[in-house]
Amino acid sequence: MNMEERTFVAIKPDAVKRGLMGKIISRFEDKGFKIIAMKLHQVTIEQASAHYAEHKDKPFYGRLISYITSGPILAMVVKGYSAVSCVRHIVGATDPDKADIGSIRADYGQVTQYNVIHASDSIESAERETKIYFDESELCD
């Protein structure tokens, strides 16, 4: 049986600069998900390093840190049934050219490095990432 769960989503700097926040938020609301926390936030180096810790030894790590700290993100916690997997499906594949038609990344992404949105890939990642950007008291659950 599908259970309600929470997941972390971040609309990345490129999408914020391009004015896509409302269009992206509506995708989740239209599907029936509840946004239980949201804030426009300038990511610090420390937060970026914690968020992308699993990529620290990869050649693209520096670009990830540089991009996520290049401007504000819209950080959100989204709640609903099978939120992690369903939100990832709505978001689409990392490479916008390979993302399913109609997904956020296919519709708004231009290149893989600037793929407009992040969504947690597991319940554990969602919990870890939420704690990087939100205090428990900020969640309106």
The residues annotated as belonging to the active site are: 118
Q: Which amino acid is located at 119 in the chain?
A: A
Phi/psi of residue 4, nearest 5 degrees = -70, 140
Phi/psi of residue 131, nearest 5 degrees = -65, -25
Neighbours of 18 (CB within 10 A): 14
- From CA 35, how far away is CA 139, in angstroms rounded? 9
41: left (phi over 0), alpha (psi -120 to 50) or beta: beta
